[in-house]
Amino acid sequence: MSDIKALLQSKMSDESFQKLAAIDNDEVCAFIAHAIELCEPESVFVGDDSDEDVAYIRQLAIDQKEEIPLNIEGHTVHWDGYFDQARKKDVTKYLVPEGVDLDKKLNQMPRDEGISEMENLQRGGYKGRKMLVRFFCLGTTNSVFAIPCLQITDSAYVCHSEDLLYRRGYEEFKRQSASHENFEFFKYRHATGEVDERNTSKNYDLNRVYMDYTKNTTLSVNTQYAGNTVGLKKLSLRLAIRKADREGWLAEHMFIMGSNGPGGRKTYLAGAFPSACGKTATAMIPGENIVGDDLAYFKVIDGEFRAANVENGIFGIITDVNSKDDPVIWDVLTKPGQVIFGNVLVKEGKPYWIGMDDEIPTAGENYCGQWTTGMKGPNGAATTCSHKNARYTVQMSDLENADPDWDNPEGLPIGGIIYGGRDSDTNVPVREAYSWEHGICTMGATLESESTAATIGQEGVRTWNVMSNMDFLSMSVGRYIQNNLDFAKDIKRPQVFGTNYFIKKDGQFLNSKLDKSVWIKWMELRIHDEAEAIDAGCGRIPKYEDLKRLFKEVRDEDYTEQDYIVQFTIRIPELLAKHDRMAAIYATIDDTPQTWTDEMAGERKRLEALQAEKGDYISPFDL
């Protein structure tokens, strides 16, 4: 340890070294020392939980031109490289020890090979730069949900993003390191790599994101996009899923929200929606309360199914955010306070994006560089004023509708789980599962969505995404499903619902964007047995009378019988076609739970019986 101490002291101020010494953990020091030896920084800054250190990081991001100040106080813009605008699945891999094989659907490579490649790419990557060491916490500090995290990077933008998105974790490191014999924490090492004249990662073809899950470590290089660099985001979800598997809880890609019911009642719901399927918009429904928009941990506490928001902020897709559909977010994005805009268009210090209220300029600076309407990108593709996956980063505390109890260290009791897909021709807008098992198997495990710009690849392709977690699974699909089926078996579990906001007829959506506020209210009533439902073979759907009343109460709109018919017609051929797609997929999964097979067979039998009795397309009034 004397050699490590000397190395650390040679690169740090005395203040930074004393901060590290106060944690008094050999693994922490060794991980930092290895990063210094490998990446060769000019100096090392160690931050704690103080406002001064947080402010220093934000200013450093501006000084290094990773963020550019905008006209409104506290607002900045960050640009990623043209080819670095989303998660890249093909270069995101698990590092697997010799003799171990993860599910064949997961992207993986031999651990030794991956470590060698990553270290070669990161070697000398901090030359002439300052290495930043920051401590954060997943989940509420000083709680059973808390997971300490150590981030090493040369990007002040990464650390500034984490300061908005996560709880400060320096004191949590000290607490757990001192009180836990087997202290476990997550760690990340990121290197921006060579940058171009716009200060964006230049060698995008050498972008790599590797998870060394045996060491609770993620490593990334030649990238700035937050999904690849902010270690506590989806990179941590992969580590947390394995930790949860070992310890008997669940780590999920879900929002948490509070729905305000009759008589001052509040019911908490958690929901899994693939990207651009309405996840953040559901969590942010006007009149309801948001707890978190992306990641949730589930644990049983005092015999109750409880969930905690893993995060402290929102890294949201900004496309189509406007004052009518997203008034709470719009308010935050247009008033003073800390906001990081990512890959939007900027003209004279003002940000613009696709689908906003304001008229879009024909020229400005965006993810392409200097941009004009109609220009082609470096790859010859058409460009837009802002990238379709452009983002905003804000803090929970700045949201007017943040639930007063959102940071409860005991988590919050969950009354309902929602699985929200995206399809134009199959599922009704909302339905309720018959049981926990039916919901997990026929809604969560069969979740599909049409691909969007949030992941690189062709748009508009319907893809399977088990519980919206397929990209982040770090174990076999079958084992993950079984863990969900088995979780909290001995207590009252939440009711399960499926949603689809994207059903169409003649190319037109049958839902307005804010109709989801009605579906949520119906779920809240169903959880408390205060609304009726109709058996539709694939679950229970609302009765017309309840929806008519709710549309008037919630939306001040008349809801017609024709609206109800076109939205809630049961489309048997399309539902059975989905069963066929799922059967083909699960035939390739060696450890598919028998419960899944049984639930799918039961649903198919019900649908085929309905088809034989009432035809292919069944009005809800005929059920």
- Taking residues 330-337, report their average pLDDT: 96
For 571, which DSSP code? E
Local confidence band at 495 (pLDDT 50, 70, 90 cut-offs): very high
Q: How many CB atoms lie within 10 A of CB 188?
A: 27
Amino acid (one-letter) located at 257: M
Q: Assess contact for 213 and 474: CB atoms under 8 A.
A: yes
The pLDDT value recorded for residue 88 is: 87
Nearest to 258 by CA among 285, 277, 281: 285
Per-residue buried b or exposed e for 320-347, using 16+ beta carbons within 10 Å of the residue's own CB: ebeeebbebbbebbbeebbbbbbbbbbb
User: pLDDT per residue over 364-403, tens digit each?
Assistant: 999 999 999 999 999 999 999 999 999 999 999 999 999 9
Class of domain 251-308+408-622: alpha beta
Between 455 and 540, residue with greater pLDDT: 540
Nearest to 425 by CA among 256, 573, 296: 573
pLDDT above 80 (res 452): no
Q: Where in the chain is the domain with CATH 3.90.228.20?
A: 251-308+408-622
User: pLDDT per residue over 240-260, tens digit each?
Assistant: 999 999 999 999 999 999 999
- Integer Cα distance of 110 and 116 in angstroms: 10
When the pLDDT of each residue in the chain is averaged and rounded to a whole number, the result is 94
- Taking residues 529-542, report their average pLDDT: 98
236-to-101, 136, 448, 597 alpha-carbon distances in Å: 21, 12, 24, 31
Per-residue buried b or exposed e for 222-243, using 16+ beta carbons within 10 Å of the residue's own CB: bbbbbbbbbbbbbbbbbbbbbb
Q: Which entry of 29, 39, 159, 277 is annotated as an active-site residue?
A: 277
The pLDDT value recorded for residue 325 is: 82
Local confidence band at 311 (pLDDT 50, 70, 90 cut-offs): very high
Among 10-14, 130-134, 358-362, 452-456, the minimum mean pLDDT is found in 452-456
Among 19-23, 221-225, 449-453, the minimum mean pLDDT is found in 449-453
3-state secondary structure string across 294-344: CCEEEEEECCEEEEEECCCEEEEECCCCCCCCCHHHHHHHCCCCCEEEECC
Local confidence band at 460 (pLDDT 50, 70, 90 cut-offs): low
Helix or strand holding residue 347 (H, E)? strand 345-347
The pLDDT value recorded for residue 457 is: 57
- Taking residues 551-575, report their average pLDDT: 97
pLDDT above 70 (res 451): no
Class of domain 2-65+87-247: alpha beta
Nearest to 70 by CA among 359, 251, 458, 338: 338
The pLDDT value recorded for residue 458 is: 60
- Integer Cα distance of 519 and 542 in angstroms: 9
Strands 208-212 and 217-221 turn out to be: antiparallel
Rounded to the nearest 5 percent, the helix, strand and coil shares of the chain are 35, 25, 40
- Integer Cα distance of 385 and 365 in angstroms: 9
The pLDDT value recorded for residue 525 is: 98
Structure tokens at 346: 């900027």
- Integer Cα distance of 170 and 23 in angstroms: 8
- The residues pairing with 135 across neighbouring beta strands, listed in sequence order, are 150
The pLDDT value recorded for residue 564 is: 97
User: pLDDT per residue over 135-173, tens digit each?
Assistant: 999 999 999 999 999 999 999 999 999 999 999 999 999
Phi-psi bin for 398: left (phi > 0), alpha (psi -120 to 50), beta?
alpha
The pLDDT value recorded for residue 466 is: 96
The pLDDT value recorded for residue 121 is: 98
pLDDT above 60 (res 579): yes
pLDDT above 90 (res 99): no
Half-sphere exposure of 143 (CA within 13 A, CB side): 23
Q: Where in the chain is the domain with CATH 3.40.449.10?
A: 2-65+87-247
Local confidence band at 277 (pLDDT 50, 70, 90 cut-offs): confident
The pLDDT value recorded for residue 309 is: 96
Residue with tokens 């009711």: 495
DSSP notation for 159-223: HHHHHHHSEE-HHHHHHHHHH-TT---EEEEEE--SB-TTSSBS-GGG-EEEEEGGGTEEEEES-
Please name the residues in contact with 3: beta carbons below 8 A apart, sequence gap of 6 or more: none
> How far is the first Cα of the chain from the last one, in angstroms, to the nearest whole number?
73
pTM, whole model, 2 decimals?
0.94
The pLDDT value recorded for residue 453 is: 52
Structure tokens at 23: 């944690």
Structure tokens at 72: 């409104």
Q: Assess contact for 433 and 369: CB atoms under 8 A.
A: no
Local confidence band at 1 (pLDDT 50, 70, 90 cut-offs): low
The pLDDT value recorded for residue 161 is: 98
User: pLDDT per residue over 286-299, tens digit each?
Assistant: 899 999 999 999 99
Please tell me whether residue 371 adopts helix, strand or coil conformation: strand
The pLDDT value recorded for residue 407 is: 95
Between 87 and 192, residue with greater pLDDT: 192
For 376, which DSSP code? B
Please tell me whether residue 581 adopts helix, strand or coil conformation: helix
Local confidence band at 459 (pLDDT 50, 70, 90 cut-offs): low
Q: What proportion of the chain, given as a percentage, has pLDDT over 70?
A: 98
Local confidence band at 404 (pLDDT 50, 70, 90 cut-offs): very high
Among 118-122, 496-500, 503-507, the minimum mean pLDDT is found in 503-507
| Dihedral sign, Cα of residue 45, residue 51, residue 57, residue 59 | negative
Residue spans of alpha helices (H) in 40-169: 51-63, 111-122, 156-165
Query: Is 441 among the residues known to form the active site?
Result: no
